[in-house]
């Protein structure tokens, strides 16, 4: 039997870069199509984040070139603030180095791994360094680098100062990739950028594909989203380990001071209340906080009540912007957008849901066999999520809703586009690839509420349209009948045929219009409660016969008086020859 020492003779430490090199699929590098979209995603989200933080209207260019049958070149360029040269190595050549991970802030990036992951993927598939051109207000550089995988740090291959372009800042990233495939399909770069444009109407995006075709997504608003605001952690969202780590790093003199200044919603009154739960004094220096004390504080936080976390740190796209974007792109017959109020999940993270549903026009998508399918556009902090739909909270919320109740009998085969954006300072992704949001009850529930709201509006639209169609058909049948008998009535009354016809039209329109209005009023009073929607739909599914009778019972007496005849005369009229077999108005219905 081998001795313990023998087993451990191969014990080694590995760098985070080595780990992700071996597990590149965790960062989204699995499958050739997905890998290319992941590259575009990481670069574009960084550019949009950088512009937003610097209050710049983003102009982004993405170019994809097929260099040879195996190799693709990606070039991405932004007009952000640029990156100072001294940070280039960490940003592009070191995993888990970023400016967002440690801040509770609503941005697209979170982990500090995205773009170093792109460098690593380029390097492991081509062996070539990547090229970065950075222009800040003060300096401009063209740098080539690799990642030293064992040390998780950049290896600069070349660096060259370049002359800055006046009034121009930004970053350009150029890299080669193998094991990737260009696709024009639903999960390819075009669709990714199209969706990015929908969710970021303030961004201008230019896309050049391998054929050289250039697509321009212009910005539809000049309004830059207000810069993201960092929020302090909320006491309800903290775990013991977080508290211990914060205490070690704190510069506050006392634990009391640390809790009050480094957390949100902890007032001096709350500190007094907290003290009552504890058997140690909050005046101790933070570094003296041990696990036992931290545990006691977190337990006390759970029993106490605090104001909910501030939600003004959230920056939704906004109903108007979503409406405009969906209208422009889908030109639907029905469109409704709902923005829920901000709320909190896990006790400590603020989030907000925005939902838009379009029906008809170009909504939905057609499969390659021409079959009509619905489409769910998922976004997290305005970044499109194109993969791992199955395990995502957005998909679950959409698929578990009883759409039949809202007038959509077979949503999966309907021309419907559902747009959902989750806005949060911390999106609970299911993995480092950031393509799917965890099914957390509060989040899934909020999405469902938003969808129900839109569903109710669709139901109203749908019933209205159906009634309109029924009434139009009925009007036509009545008119046909009326026009047939109009010449005989005119002859008997010695009036112009046109005059009689005109009167018939007025009369039919008035009656059909009145019934429609009556139906709408009845419908509007019964659609508030989603639980009752199915009953309402059934009740309004057909026009009650009583009302039809009213439509049939056109007031001939009135009509004849109006054109100078009498009711007597009117009633004594026999039907024209073709109607002599006893047919009545209802035969035409």
Ligand X SMILES: Nc1ncnc2c1ncn2[C@@H]1O[C@H](COP(=O)(O)OP(=O)(O)OP(=O)(O)O)[C@@H](O)[C@H]1O
Asked whether position 46 contacts Mg ion by CB under 5 A, the answer is: yes
Residue 311 CB, nearest distance to ligand X (Å)? 22
Token representation of residue 50: 């950088």
Q: Which residues pair with 424 in a beta bridge?
A: 351
CA–CA distances in Å: residue 221 to residues 169, 337, 563: 22, 18, 58
Which residue in 472, 397, 385 sits closest to 434, CA to CA? 385
3-state SS assignment for residue 65: strand
- Residue 107 or 443: which CB sits closer to Mg ion? 107
Residue 314 contact partner, candidates ligand X, Mg ion, none, CB within 5 to 8 A by sort of partner: none
Q: Contact with ligand X (CB under 6 A): which of 58, 109, 129, 530?
A: 109
- Contact yes or no for 360/330 (Cβ under 8 A): no
Tell me: does residue 109 bind Mg ion (CB under 5 A): yes
Residue 171 binds ligand X, judged by CB under 6 A? yes
Q: CA 353, CA 447: separation in Å to the nearest integer?
A: 6
CA distance 321 to 27: 31
- Distant-in-sequence, close-in-space partners of 259: CB < 8 Å, separation ≥ 6: 235, 266, 271, 274, 282, 297
Tokens encoding 380: 């997290």
The answer to whether the beta carbons of residues 204 and 59 sit under 8 Å apart is yes
Instruction: Please select the residue that binds ligand X; options are 93, 112, 228, 428, rule is CB under 6 A.
Output: 112
Residues paired with 366 in a beta bridge: 372
> For ligand X, which residue of 111, 311, 430, 445 counts as binding (CB under 6 A)?
111
Q: Which stretch binds ligand X (CB under 6 A): 113-121, 181-189, 299-307, 340-348?
A: 113-121
Find the shortest distance in angstroms from Cβ 123 to ligand X.
15
Residue 536 binds to Mg ion (criterion: CB under 5 A): no
Q: In the complex with ligand X, which residue's Cβ is closer, 54 or 254? A: 54
Residue 1: strand, helix, or coil: coil
- Reported as type and span, the H/E element at residue 421 is strand 416-424
Given Mg ion, ligand X, none, residue 256, with its beta carbon under 5 to 8 Å by kind, binds none
Quote the DSSP letter at residue 160: E
Query: Interface with ligand X by CB under 6 A: which range of 92-100, 196-204, 245-253, 254-262?
Result: 92-100
Judged by beta carbon, residue 73 or residue 548, the one nearer ligand X is 73
Q: What is the 3-state secondary structure (H, E, C) of 241-287?
A: HHHHHHHHHCCCCCHHHHHHHHCCCCCHHHHHHHHHHCCCCCCCCHH
73 with 106: CB under 8 angstroms?
A: no
Query: Which 3 state secondary structure label does DSSP give 378?
Result: strand
Q: Kindly calculate the radius of gyration of the chain based on its CA atoms and give it in whole angstroms.
A: 33
CB nearer to Mg ion: pick between 46 and 395 = 46
Is residue 28 at the binding interface for Mg ion, with CB under 5 A as the rule? no
- Cβ proximity to Mg ion: between 40 and 255 the closer is 40
Q: Which single residue brings its beta carbon nearest to ligand X?
A: 109
Select the span of 38-46, 189-197, 201-209, 457-465 touching Mg ion (CB under 5 A): 38-46
Stretch that binds Mg ion, among 30-38, 106-114, 254-262, 319-327 (CB under 5 A): 106-114
Q: Which of 34, 100, 456, 511 binds ligand X (CB under 6 A)?
A: 100
Part of the chain binding ligand X (CB under 6 A), chosen from 110-118, 392-400, 458-466, 506-514: 110-118
List the single partner that 293 binds among Mg ion, ligand X, none, CB under 5 to 8 Å by kind.
Answer: none
- Closest distance to ligand X from the beta carbon of 444 (Å): 23
Which of 72, 74, 115, 282 touches ligand X by CB under 6 A? Answer: 115
Spatial CB neighbours of 402, under 8 Å, sequence gap ≥ 6: 534
Contact between 113 and ligand X by CB under 6 A: the answer reads: yes
Q: Minimal CA–CA distance to 444: which of 527, 359, 351?
A: 351
Whole-angstrom distance between the N-terminal and C-terminal Cα of the chain? 93
Q: Return the residue of 37, 47, 79, 250 that touches ligand X, per CB under 6 A.
A: 47
Q: Can you tell me which of 80, 81, 114, 286 binds Mg ion, judged by CB under 5 A?
A: 114
Q: How many CB atoms lie within 10 A of CB 408?
A: 21
Residue 357 touches ligand X, criterion: CB under 6 A: no
390: helix, strand or coil: helix
Separation of alpha carbons 340 and 424, rounded Å: 13
The helix, strand and coil proportions of the chain, stated in percent and rounded to the nearest 5, come to 45, 15, 40
Count residues binding ligand X (CB under 6 A).
Answer: 20
Q: How far is the CB of 397 from ligand X (least distance, A)?
A: 24
Among 17, 62, 72, 83, binds ligand X (CB under 6 A): 83
Among residues 117 and 364, whose Cβ is nearest to Mg ion?
117
C-beta closer to ligand X: residue 44 or 450 = 44
Q: Between 64 and 103, how does the x/- string for binding to Mg ion read (CB under 5 A)?
A: ----------------------------------------
The pair phi, psi for residue 194, each rounded to 5°, is -60, -45
What would the x/- binding string for ligand X be over residues 208 to 247, using CB under 6 A?
----------------------------------------
DSSP-assigned letters across all residues of 103-142: S----S--SS-HHHHHHHHHHHHH-PPEEEEEE-SS-EEE
Calpha distance 467→403 (Å, rounded): 20
- Give the range of 76-84, 156-164, 266-274, 552-560 binding ligand X by CB under 6 A: 76-84
Q: Which of residues 14-43 bind ligand X (CB under 6 A)?
A: 42
Smaller CB distance to ligand X: residue 103 or 365? 103
Question: Phi first, then psi: what are they for 530, rounded to 5°?
Answer: -60, -35
Return d(Cα 472, Cα 454) in angstroms, integer: 27
Please identify, among the stretches 93-101, 391-399, 466-474, 568-576, the one whose residues bind ligand X according to the rule CB under 6 A.
93-101
> Which residue in 80, 228, 309, 342 binds ligand X (CB under 6 A)?
80
Q: Which residue of 24, 91, 133, 231 would you call a contact of ligand X, by CB under 6 A?
A: 91
Binding residues (CB under 6 A) for ligand X: these are 42, 46-47, 50, 78, 80, 83, 91, 98-100, 109-116, 171
Contact residues for Mg ion, defined by CB under 5 A: 46, 109, 114
């Amino acid at each position: 039997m081998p001795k313990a020492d023998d087993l451990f003779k191969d014990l080694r430490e590995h760098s985070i870069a080595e780990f992700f090199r071996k597990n590149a699929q965790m960062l989204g590098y699995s499958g050739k199509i997905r890998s290319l979209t992941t590259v575009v995603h990481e670069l574009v989200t960084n550019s949009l984040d950088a512009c937003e933080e610097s209050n710049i209207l983003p102009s982004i260019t993405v170019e994809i070139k097929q260099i040879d049958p195996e190799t693709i070149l990606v070039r991405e360029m932004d007009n952000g603030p640029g990156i100072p040269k001294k940070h280039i190595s960490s940003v592009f050549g070191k995993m888990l180095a970023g400016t967002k991970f440690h801040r509770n802030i609503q941005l697209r990036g979170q982990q500090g791994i995205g773009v170093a992951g792109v460098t690593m993927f380029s390097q492991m598939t081509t062996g070539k360094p990547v090229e970065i051109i950075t222009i800040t207000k003060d300096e401009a550089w063209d740098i080539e680098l690799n990642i030293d995988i064992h040390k998780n740090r950049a290896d600069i291959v070349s660096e060259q100062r370049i002359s800055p372009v006046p009034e121009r800042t930004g970053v350009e990233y150029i890299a080669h990739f193998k094991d990737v495939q260009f696709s024009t399909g639903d999960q390819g770069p075009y669709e990714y950028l199209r969706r990015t444009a929908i969710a970021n109407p303030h961004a201008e995006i230019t896309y050049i594909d391998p054929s050289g075709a250039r697509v321009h997504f212009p910005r539809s608003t000049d309004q830059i989203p207000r810069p993201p605001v960092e929020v302090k952690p909320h006491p309800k969202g903290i775990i013991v380990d977080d508290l211990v780590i914060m205490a070690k790093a704190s510069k506050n003199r006392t634990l009391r001071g640390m809790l009050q200044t480094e957390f949100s919603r902890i007032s001096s009154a709350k500190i007094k209340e907290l003290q009552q739960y504890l058997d140690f004094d909050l005046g101790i220096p933070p570094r003296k906080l041990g696990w036992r004390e931290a545990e006691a504080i977190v337990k006390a936080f759970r029993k106490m009540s605090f104001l909910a976390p501030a939600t003004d740190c959230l920056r939704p796209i906004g109903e108007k912007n979503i409406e405009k974007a969906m209208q422009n792109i889908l030109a639907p017959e029905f469109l409704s957008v709902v923005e829920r109020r901000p709320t909190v999940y896990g006790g400590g993270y603020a989030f907000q849901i925005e939902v838009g549903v379009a029906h008809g026009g170009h909504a939905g998508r057609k499969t390659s066999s021409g079959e009509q399918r619905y489409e769910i556009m998922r976004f997290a902090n305005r970044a499109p999520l194109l993969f791992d739909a199955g395990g995502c909270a957005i998909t679950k919320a959409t698929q578990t809703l009883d759409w039949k109740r809202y007038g959509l009998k077979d949503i999966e085969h309907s021309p419907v586009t559902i747009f959902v954006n989750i806005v949060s300072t911390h999106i609970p992704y299911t993995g480092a690839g950031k393509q799917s949001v965890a099914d957390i009850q509060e989040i899934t529930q909020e999405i469902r509420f938003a969808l129900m709201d839109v569903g109710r509006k669709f139901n109203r639209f749908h019933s209205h349209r159906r009634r309109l169609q029924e009434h139009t058909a009925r009007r036509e049948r009545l008119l046909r009948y009326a026009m047939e008998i109009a010449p005989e009535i005119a002859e008997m009354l010695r009036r112009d045929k046109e005059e009689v016809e005109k009167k018939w039209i007025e009369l039919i329109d008035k009656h059909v219009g009145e019934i429609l209005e009556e139906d709408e009023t009845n419908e509007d009073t019964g659609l508030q409660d989603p639980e009752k929607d199915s009953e309402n739909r059934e009740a309004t599914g057909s026009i009650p016969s009583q009302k039809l009778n009213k439509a049939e019972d056109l007031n001939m007496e009135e009509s004849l008086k109006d054109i100078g005849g009498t009711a007597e005369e009117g009633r004594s009229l026999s039907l024209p020859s073709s109607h002599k077999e006893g047919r009545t108005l209802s035969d035409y219905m």
